[in-house]
Amino acid sequence: MAVTDIAERTTSTDHIFETLYERIVSLDLLPGTKMSETDVAKSFGYSRQPVREAFTRLANLNLLLIRPQRATIVRPFSRDLIADARFLRLAIELEVVRQAALSSEQAIALKLNKSLKAQREAISAGDTKAFHELDYDFHNLLCAAAGRPAAFDQIAANKAQVDRLCMLSLTSAEAMETLYQDHADLVAAIAGNDPGGADTVLRRHLSRLDPIIDAIYTTHRGYFED
């Protein structure tokens, strides 16, 4: 295959993957929604090959369920997968915030504070979607502050399992305010070169998902795997 053909297919796959990822995480595509390679290819104006590759990438993140001889669907929530993802994310991000607190740099500190300002503006505007995106970027910045930007690849892969749940819970200014305050406390601990404080805040921050998962399981049981 010509190099240009490979590059075009890669670009197409990335475009399809990123678009579908955003639609799944934002719950524009709900758990259980059927997905057709043919229909998706027509909607994007591409062949089925890049769609198939994008589907495979989404399935590897446990966001799609590809079933032989049956329709591919947006994967329902799995309490086991969510528990595994949260465990791995906590293990990685605890070391990230510890390293960030030990090696805080002024340039990164400015970016973190700029992120906090943007989060505050999103809360004031009641813009849940913007706040969710800023939350994603904030945790990416934490990895940069630790000097381990590649760590965010692993965090993001595990965040995908719970980000959809976050979209169900981020429905009020109060919920966003709580997460914002955790972010502000993390920045303060990092700026104060306080790894112990950063550890405590991060554990508190991620533990907030426990009652949310239980509540969503009760109120949206149909979105979960049997």
Per-residue pLDDT of the chain (226 residues; tens, 9 = 90+): 443 454 455 689 999 999 999 999 888 999 999 999 999 999 999 999 999 999 999 999 999 999 888 899 999 999 999 999 899 999 999 999 999 999 867 888 899 999 999 999 999 999 988 998 899 999 999 999 999 999 999 998 888 888 888 777 766 788 899 999 999 999 999 999 999 999 999 999 999 888 888 888 898 899 999 7
Residue 31 C-alpha from the chain's centroid: 16
- Pair (104, 174) in one structural domain: yes
Q: Count the domains in the chain.
A: 2
Instruction: Tell me if residue 104 falls in helix, strand or coil.
Output: coil
- Pair (102, 30) in one structural domain: no
**How many C-beta neighbours within 10 Å does residue 214 have?**
11
- Pair (62, 95) in one structural domain: no
13 CB contacts (<8 Å, ≥6 apart)? Answer: 50, 53, 54, 57
Q: Concatenated DSSP letters for 137-164?
A: HHHHHHHHHTT-TTHHHHHHHHHHHHHH
How far is the C-alpha of 84 from the C-alpha of 109, rounded, in Å? Answer: 31
**How many C-beta neighbours within 10 Å does residue 223 have?**
18
CATH code of 39's domain: 1.10.10.10
pLDDT at 171: 66
How far is the C-alpha of 59 from the C-alpha of 75, rounded, in Å? Answer: 8
- Pair (17, 104) in one structural domain: no
**Residue 26's domain spans which residues?**
3-74
pLDDT at 6: 43
- Pair (46, 84) in one structural domain: no
Structural domain ending residue among the three candidates 33, 56, 74: 74
- Pair (118, 204) in one structural domain: yes
Eight-state DSSP code of residue 31: T
- Pair (70, 83) in one structural domain: no
Instruction: Tell me if residue 73 falls in helix, strand or coil.
Output: strand
